[in-house]
Amino acid sequence: MAQLQALLFDVDGTLADTERDGHRVAFNRAFADAGLDWEWDEALYGKLLAVTGGKERIRHYLDHFNTGFERPADYDAFVAGLHAAKTAHYTRMLDEGAIPLRPGVERLLQEVRDAGLRLAVATTTTPANVTALLHSTLGSGAEGWFEVIAAGDVAPAKKPAPDIYLWAMEQMNLQPADCLAFEDSDNGVRSVKDAGIRALLVTVNGYTEGQDFDGASLVLDQLGEPSAPARALSPWEAEQVVADLPLLRRLHEQANG
């Protein structure tokens, strides 16, 4: 039976609750800077999150929610320019400490690092966003905690496609059975499953609770702290849970048989 060697972390919604008060606000600031009257409120953004990737999300918005907008001649450059402006706003928000890590994330990262497990990030978001989040929450050396930061356009297709997880495992010479993944959304769960990874811990958030997490080893409301345990949202032996390394090893063992 394969041993648990590596943990692969999604970023948005998993390491930090970044979407409603982070990415969404940054998109709106970029639209305002460009003189566009587009306003992605919380409800609309929840619908737009069905599409991963900021550039892809802007296109999806214009294709389905703002079909009357007259597209500029160089549409690709227009979308890329808006997205670059959004990323600048978003990384500035992170640098200002606007977005904290979710409960239990720093505790668990320290525990698994001390135990010598290999860590990677597998995210749809732009690499600069990952760096800014890690620096602002864990300090300038935190990027080095992760052997691989698989992010954004490095993979041909974004989640729910498995590409980003396959790319990360290839870079680390890992097999799916060596890994356990952390996700927050149905798109992320599908990406992990289609990459062949069976051990998967889901922590839901305001935008993803109620989504289909079929195939997850365990679904929690967060990773929990000893003083404030998480709540199990899928069948488990206890109502209150603190996600620690022994739990991860049990989930991995159960998932891989």
Query: Would you please indicate which residues are annotated as catalytic (active-site) residues?
Result: 10, 12
Does residue 22 interact with ligand XBP by CB under 6 A?
no
Q: From the list Mg ion, ligand XBP, none, which binds 208 (C-beta under 5 to 8 Å, kind-based)?
A: none
* Least distance between ligand XBP and beta carbon 234 (Å): 20
Residues 77-136 that bind ligand XBP (CB under 6 A): 87, 123-126, 129
- Cβ-proximal residue to ligand XBP, closest one: 54
- Amino acid found at 103: P
Closest approach, Cβ 67 to Mg ion, in A, equals 28
Residues 133-162 that bind ligand XBP (CB under 6 A): 159
For residues 87, 84, 58 and 164, what is the CA-based torsion angle, rounded to 10 degrees?
-70
| Alpha helices per DSSP H over 1-53 | 24-33, 42-48
Cα 232 to the center of its chain, rounded Å? 20
Q: Which residues pair with 9 in a beta bridge?
A: 121, 182
Using rule CB under 5 A, residue 186 touches Mg ion: no
Q: Which is nearer to ligand XBP, 189 or 243 (CB)?
A: 189
- What 3 state SS string does 125-155 have? CCHHHHHHHHHHHHCHHHHHHCCEEEEHHHC
What count of Cα atoms within 13 Å lies in the side-chain half-sphere of residue 13? Answer: 30
- Which residues here bind Mg ion, judged by CB under 5 A? 10, 12-13, 184-185
Applying CB under 6 A, the residues found at the interface with ligand XBP are 10-13, 19, 23, 52-54, 87, 123-126, 129, 159, 188
